[in-house]
Amino acid sequence: MRQLQCDLLIVGAGPAGMSAAIEARAAGLNVAIADEGEAPGGQIYRNAAQSPLADASVLGDDYLAGRGLIERFAGCGATYLARSVVWQIAHENRQVTAMLTRRPHDATGGTLEVAARAVLIATGAQERPWPVRGWTLPGVMGVGAAQTLLKSSGLAPAQDAVLAGSGPLLWLFASQLLAAGRRVRAIIDTTPRHAWRAALPHALPALAGADYLLKGWRMLRAVKRSGIPVYRGASGLSIEGDTRAERVGLVDASGARQVIDTSLVLLHQGVIPSTQLPRSLGCEHEWDASSACWRPRTDARGRSSIPQVWIAGDGAGIGGAKAATLAGTLAALDIAREFGALDAALHDTRRAPAQRALTRHLAVRPLLDALYTPPRALRRPDDDVTVCRCEEVSAGEIRRIAALGCQGPNQMKAFSRCGMGPCQGRWCGTTVGELIAQVQRRSVADVGYYRIRAPIKPVTVDDIADSITLDDDFERGEFPS
């Protein structure tokens, strides 16, 4: 096992992580940044520096703008640990120690222990799980996963693909495909027709982020002009097929049942913060009813409830790439001041413009949350729908156990193995909490979430064994020892 020491460890090299590294290095801090990707950029700027597409402009101006951030990060002097899976972080005696495994296991790979004075978690967001009938069939995947394939390998979905769900990313990906010369068979929009009424009170404040609204209007206009069939106000979505996806059924706004033949269904119901890593550290979290998801409890500087732990970007609350960049800058400035690398006056001078810009970029979020947060009917599946994909536990089984008095997700895990698979609850945790709350007529905040234990990501026993330091006088005992 190799060891590394630094002032600041950043987990995730997306917009928040890169901007934090740039600012922390400018203040003179020794920075290491661990990232699972092959190159910096995160999901939003994946392969922005070296796109496999012949014309990367089809992905939009916002994507191309990431190249400047990546270039500044590359020149800032931070230690960049690519292909690194952080699977444990411990906090003790005002020091943070992280265990990570680098792939492949070559001269620079293997298990690495990083000791830091502080850690900034910038792990971003994940797609919101959307359990519907047939979502476990081959030929069904998330829009985010399909976009990753487009950015990383230049692979576009087949032209008989159907996009289903709601949220800005659904329309962004559709417009990106159109710009690349690729059509899809249909778009199924599950946004309730009455959602505009709930969003209307937030319209005037959202004008502060008029550039976001204009971009959204352009995406919707591009889809409309393309002639792709759009089923608005859809409900009752189900994916059918014997051994793989063959068709998708829905109830349209008029109440009529529609069936669309397809070999590929791309699902999306927005994104939610990735909370596994801060949860493993014991950071406090809260249920955000406006966006129906859990988020870590942080202050305006990104400080969590645990000393020496900051959280920035979409992992602290969904705000988009530009907001994440600014949040990373603000967190790094606060860390630098905490360590005495910046005096109060210089900190305040640098902080003020970033804070004003962040406020402007977040102005549109209440409108988007009101418009695109899926209603309870979409978040609480029918009894025959699989919720835990790893252990194949259905919504009906979860409801049955909840009716017996199961108090929360952790007890549900013991009774049903729900959440015990490789994803450690990433794809069932929010749904399980909502189902228990529904049956027992409690709030989701009261029901809670899984306790997350290391390893945070799947690693081999060899990786774990390599992380254990043995004293020179260690002697192996007889079994059982």
Round the average pLDDT of the chain to a whole number and report it: 94
CA 354-356-360 angle, 5° bins: 115
**Residue 397 confidence (pLDDT):** 98
What is the domain extent for residue 407?
380-442
Residues 24 and 40 in one domain: yes
Would 479 be classed as within a structural domain?
no
CA atoms within 13 A on the CB side of 94: 2
Residues 78 and 140 in one domain: no
Q: Note if the pTM is more than 0.75.
A: yes
Would 21 be classed as within a structural domain?
yes
Residues 108 and 145 in one domain: no
Question: Are the beta carbons of 80 and 13 closer than 8 angstroms?
Answer: yes
Residues 109 and 65 in one domain: yes
Strand partners for 418: none
Would 224 be classed as within a structural domain?
yes
SS3 151: helix
Higher pLDDT, 187 or 471: 187
Task: State what percent of residues in the chain have pLDDT above 90.
Answer: 89
At 358-367, the pLDDT tens digits run 999 999 999 9
Which tokens hold the place of 418? 């729900």
Tell me the pLDDT band of 471, cut-offs 50, 70 and 90: low
- Please tell me the total count of domains within the chain: 3
In DSSP notation, 383-397 reads TTSEEETTTTEEHHH
Would 51 be classed as within a structural domain?
yes
Residues 207 and 302 in one domain: no
Residues 252 and 276 in one domain: no
At 216-260, the pLDDT tens digits run 999 999 999 999 999 999 999 999 999 999 999 999 999 999 999
Q: Where residue 413 sits, what CATH number does that domain have?
A: 1.10.10
3-state secondary structure 189-234: ECCCCCHHHHHHHHHHHHHHHHHHHHHHHHHHHHHHHHCCCEECCC
Does residue 435 register a pLDDT over 90? yes
Lowest model confidence (mean pLDDT) among 15-29, 64-78, 108-122, 426-440: 108-122
